[in-house]
Amino acid sequence: MEENYPPGFTYQDFGNQFKAEFFNASDWAQIFKSSGAKYVVLTSKHHEGYTLWPSKYSFSWNAKDVGPHKDLIGIFKEAIKNKTDLKFGLYHSLYEWFNPLWLQDKSNNFTTNEFSKNKVLPEMKELINTYEPELLWSDGEWEASDDYWFSKQFLAWLYNESPVKDTIVVNDRWGHDTLCNHGGFLTCQDRYFPGKLLSRKWENAMTLDKTSWGFRRNAKLEDFFTNYELISLLAQTISFGGNFLVNVGPTKEGIIPPIFQDRLKNMGDWLKVNGEAIYESKPWEKCQNDTLTPNVWYTTKFDKYINKRYLYAMISNWPKEGRIKLKCPKISGNKAVINMLGVDLNLQWNQQDRFLEVVFPNKEKTTNDYVWTLRIDADFNEKYMLENEVFLVAN
């Protein structure tokens, strides 16, 4: 701030610069829907304490009183519900950098709770009662315990008395002792990837800008994930049983910058072809990534309508010789069918002693430029182990 703004400029001065004059909630809803997303999470309040709704607990530090003079959450929710079938979620920061009540409690080593009792707790109830989100993404918990934040009391109210008690989902950020331990799903850390299967549902909350959770005027092209990198991260996350939450930073005018729109659109285009391996899929318990060929990620899915289970292999790199060797799947018999999603062709394959070799189609016949998905149709009802390897029996 000292380098780019005049002397005496404070963080609060940003409020009047935030006009959101070009904010179009219907456009945002369409962008997110076209990305292939199934749920959306809007930041209701970040660490500076500014709320995007006219909260009576925000001391005139909200989007209705300062800046856009609009209830941005209400407008956005209406567009999401009227224009899409996306689940509607809200992010909410517990702590606030500048709030004097917070600073007082902190200076008292949290032996007092004026901020959490009189600001945060009623504010969260107001947020839930007013907008009835289907997901609440809590953050800013790390300096104090869940007892300080009254998290048990709030969650008891949320799941027993609130208007969303039967539908709401929450994450794990409710105190410095709850992260990665307690919650409806685990986030553990920003850009979280456990590298192994977990017994709990988890989420990889990541950013398209590799260095920032917001819009940066001085960002360079190389600061953003490429389409290839983004889709590879998606495949990797899903193969280990996670959800993929992609952060985009809008401008103060209320616009989602074109580079973010490009990444989201390309992800949606990829999912139109390959979403069969993503949506409602499960990790393959025996192998999440191939042990012979790198950057190959597995998922499985049961099709209840035809009583059949498929194995999917998402492959980040096109094989140089047009043939790929996979260590994990072992096929017994000769009736298995292997396809590439988006290509109307049964692929040739050959089961060797130590690997399955699959012949790729002509690349010109494929419908995407990165991360190709093989669907292996074999009988998953019969599986047996040999030297710690999984065989798929094709009868």
Tens of pLDDT, residues 153-191: 999 999 999 999 999 999 999 999 999 999 999 999 999
Residue 381 has pLDDT above 70, yes or no: no
State phi, psi for 112 to the nearest 5 degrees.
Answer: -115, 160
Distance in angstroms (rounded) separating the CA atoms of residues 342 and 390: 27
CATH numbers and ranges of domains, the chain = 11-277 (3.20.20.80), 282-393 (2.60.40.1180)
**Degrees (nearest 5) of the Cα angle 234, 343, 337?**
95
* Contacts of 161 by beta carbon, 8 Å cutoff, 6+ apart: none
3-state DSSP of 164-224:
CCCCCEECCCCCCCCCCCCCCCECCCCCCCCCCCCCCCEEEEEECECCCCCCCCCCCHHHE
Q: Residue 270 is inside which H or E element, if any?
A: helix 258-274
Take residue 298 and report the two structure tokens written for it: 């597995």
Of 321, 395, 305, 317, nearest to 357 by C-alpha is: 321
Separation in Å, CA 76 to CA 24, 79, 169, 288, 378: 9, 5, 19, 37, 45
Distance in angstroms (rounded) separating the CA atoms of residues 354 and 231: 29
**End-to-end distance of the chain based on CA atoms, in angstroms?**
68
Give residue 201's pLDDT: 97
Distance in angstroms (rounded) separating the CA atoms of residues 297 and 278: 11
Distance in angstroms (rounded) separating the CA atoms of residues 55 and 317: 49
Q: State pLDDT tens for residues 246-304.
A: 999 999 999 999 999 999 999 999 999 999 999 999 999 999 999 999 999 999 999 88
Tokens 């002792």 identify what position?
Answer: 177
Average pLDDT value for the chain: 94
* Contacts of 262 by beta carbon, 8 Å cutoff, 6+ apart: 227
The DSSP call for residue 34 is: H
pTM equals 0.93
Between 131 and 306, residue with greater pLDDT: 131
Q: How confident is the model at residue 308 (pLDDT cuts 50, 70, 90)?
A: confident
Take residue 94 and report the two structure tokens written for it: 């517990």
Q: State pLDDT tens for residues 26-45.
A: 999 999 999 999 999 999 99
For residue 17, give the amino acid letter: Q
Of 63, 46, 48, 36, nearest to 12 by C-alpha is: 48
Give residue 392's pLDDT: 42
Between 13 and 72, residue with greater pLDDT: 72
For residue 215, give the amino acid letter: F
Q: State pLDDT tens for residues 89-104.
A: 999 999 999 999 999 9
Q: State pLDDT tens for residues 335-351.
A: 899 999 999 999 999 99
Take residue 54 and report the two structure tokens written for it: 């006219």
Buried b (16+ CB within 10 A) or exposed e, 262-271: ebbbbbbbbb
Q: How confident is the model at residue 379 (pLDDT cuts 50, 70, 90)?
A: low
For residue 171, give the amino acid letter: N
